[in-house]
A and B are shown apart, each in its own frame.
Chain A
Amino acid sequence: AQRVTQPEKLLSVFKGAPVELKCNYSYSGSPELFWYVQYSRQRLQLLLRHISRESIKGFTADLNKGETSFHLKKPFAQEEDSAMYYCALNTGFQKLVFGTGTRLLVSP
């Protein structure tokens, strides 16, 4: 079954603290994974994808096939990082399966 699991609905941290948003997937093929972010009252936008191996706004995510995970990390959270974060799996031809999302709240 194709599935994306984000176990935390809400993650609350203080500014400057490290952040890790968890994402696990279930997929029989070679996975292509993404993190999307939705800031308050804004549309969903791509944050990063695993094939690019990039760092966007200080966030990184490494695909771990052994653990079937694609956790999103940032060493020092900022207040402007507060948003809803969705992990997504490309199941073919860019058809995305989304996780249920994690709301990140960064307090001053």
Chain B
Amino acid sequence: GAVVSQHPSRVICKSGTSVKIECRSLDFQATTMFWYRQFPKQSLMLMATSNEGSKATYEQGVEKDKFLINHASLTLSTLTVTSAHPEDSSFYICSARAVRTGVTDTQYFGPGTRLTVL
């Protein structure tokens, strides 16, 4: 089956530093990846859509300069939280859209990255 990995699974950083989170599709190519944020006991909120070879599109209210997204290849998207602050602490989840001829469009999720900003 289609597998999506995230690295790191957990990161703790000091306020003001930048943190990079990687999302990889391991056995399929993904022209589109999505980044979500999940606060404790709340639902997933879509932050941005990452498109291979083009700029990411951000949801309303998400600062693009704060959350930098790069989708440099068909199997890798990165989310960089710049100048992180405690309010950025959250669970970040990526998903990759698998589009194959004759197969219904499906989204596969990574295991998530827990970010804690001190």
Residues of A participating in the B interface, judged by any CB pair closer than 8 Å:
36, 42-46, 49, 51-52, 86, 93-101
Contacts and interface: CB of A to CB of B under 8 A. Distances in A.
Interface residues of B, number: 20
Nearest to A51: B104
B6 to A, nearest CB: 9
B93 A44 contact: yes
Contact of A95 (B4, B34, B110, B112): B34
B32 A46 contact: no
Contact of B32 (A42, A86, A93): A93
Contacts of A46: 106-107
Q: By DSSP majority rule, is chain B's interface helix, strand, loop, or mixed?
A: strand
B49 interface: yes
A100 B46 contact: no
Given A43-B110, A46-B106, A46-B107, A101 B49 contact: no
Interface string B78-113: 000000000000000101010000001111011110
Contacts of B105: 94
22 contacts: A42-B111, A43-B4, A43-B109, A43-B112, A44-B44, A44-B93, A44-B95, A44-B109, A46-B106, A51-B104, A86-B44, A93-B32, A93-B49, A94-B107, A95-B34, A95-B49, A96-B34, A96-B107, A98-B43, A99-B43, A100-B43, A101-B43
A94 B111 contact: no
Contacts of A101: 43
Q: Which 5 A-B pairs have the closest CB atoms?
A: A44-B109, A100-B43, A43-B111, A98-B43, A98-B44
B46 A95 contact: yes
Contacts of B43: 86, 98-101
B104 A52 contact: yes
Interface in B6-63: 32, 34, 42-46, 49
Given A44-B93, A86-B44, A100-B42, 12 more contacts: A36-B109, A44-B95, A46-B106, A49-B104, A93-B32, A95-B49, A96-B44, A96-B46, A97-B46, A98-B43, A98-B45, A101-B43
